[in-house]
Structure 1
Amino acid sequence: MALSQFMEEDRVSTAMAILAVLFVILAVIFALSAAAYAVSGGIGGAFASMGMVALFGILGAIFQLIVLYQWSKAINTNVKNSQQFLSNIKEHAEDPLRGEVGFILGRLEELMVPVWPFWVYIVLYLVALFVGWFAFLLNLIGFIFLAVYLSHIFKTTNRLSDIKDKFYNYLRGRGKITAQIEIYRIPRRNIVLFIVLSVITFAVYWLYLLVKLSFEINHYLDSDAQARKQLEEVLAASGSNG
């Protein structure tokens, strides 16, 4: 029943998240430089600095969007892998373990992160580049869809490790496993608090979270893959002994 070794997780590129933050910082630095040139009358230097602002700003935005998409892709792949793994266990299990696995499978079905709000946000953001003063309204609506997308990310990361941890505790309580299987618990986050902190810190908190959550998702994926492997080995050993 060595199913876990064939399951590959879609990881988040932490290097890309770090680069996105660096590009944003560089864009801010060159923006300040452009302002200083403008004040001192250095028109050529101001234009050159604004060009660098545009370059690093575009790169930073692209990298942020890629990381944002990788969050949901990594989580959804993990949910699908978990469903496949638990379905395999259910086929070889007897009641009451079969019933418990079925319950967990039902809970996992609810945790898929919908990606459509992300794509709506992208479309509105691109359209806003060409509509003049309507851009503010479109960006505001786009931000709402982005908040919906992030809300699903936070909700799923809050619940996913909880469900897995409860399942392993159930197995320990039933004497099905004795191995200390630990799932990394991604810290709980609230979308309202996220928006407030991002606003009052002028998006500094967002840049921090971009890197922080990327590392946390990868840490969870590593711990879950290891837990699946241990569980598979323990159940296989108990089955052969039985």
Structure 2
Amino acid sequence: MLEITKRLLRAAEGGEPVFLASVLESGPRPLVPGARMLVERSGERLGSLGDTALDDALAAYAPDAFAAHIAATLYVTPGGLSERTAKGATAVYVEVVEAKPVFLIVGAGHIGRSLAKLADFLDFHVAILDDRDDFASSERVPEADEVLCEDFEEALKKYPIGPSTYITLVTRGHKQDELSLRTCLGRGAAYLGMIGSRRRTGAVLEHLREDGFDPEELARVRTPIGLSIGAETPEEIAISIMAEVIMLRRGGDGSVMYHR
């Protein structure tokens, strides 16, 4: 149990993520509530839930859980694992334990500030960058964990970007957006979005294509940014952007759930 706790702490503090499964309700199986098992990305396991078949089923589920950054309760039925509750089923809480993802906002205008509030609410580590003193300040954006007041290009060159970094380019102009995009491309960000109209963002992508940037990397840029919800105000635009980030992070499809 101590080894499991140590491994969970390492993951939460920035080490490699790990998949955790914990028994909530034993159901028909002779399990002990609270029993835990960890699964590494490699498939290596630590601990056991007390049932070999259940351990195997959850280890097989782990790769998809890593991809979706899952946190859910699963119910074990004769048909397998399900997120739908079932009477008398074994209930297992599963979670990918990892450090907070970084939400990097490039541009501290009205939309940037609204994004900082939402990203903080959604438990991201929030970083915001602007090259203007009166915009990049902790007083103006108190929700940010990091406030960077520097040249966009220089700051982004040295900022650590990786698979847990979500980047939104919402600067005051297309010149700053394009310079920032050039600096962020090809560095493995989980999300890279740029604000702007189809015409303007299409022109930016064409410039980069002509300059030899990888077409596959350009195709991954989310632009125009956000989901189409008819957003008009900075707050509504921020919601549409965060909805797209959540959709991609959790493996959603953005479809309407309403039905009759």
Q: TM-score, normalised by structure 2?
A: 0.25
Larger radius of gyration: 1
Instruction: Determine which structure has the larger strand proportion and give its number.
Output: 2
Q: TM-score, normalised by structure 1?
A: 0.26
- Structure ranking higher on relative contact order (CA contacts 8 Å, 6+ apart): 1
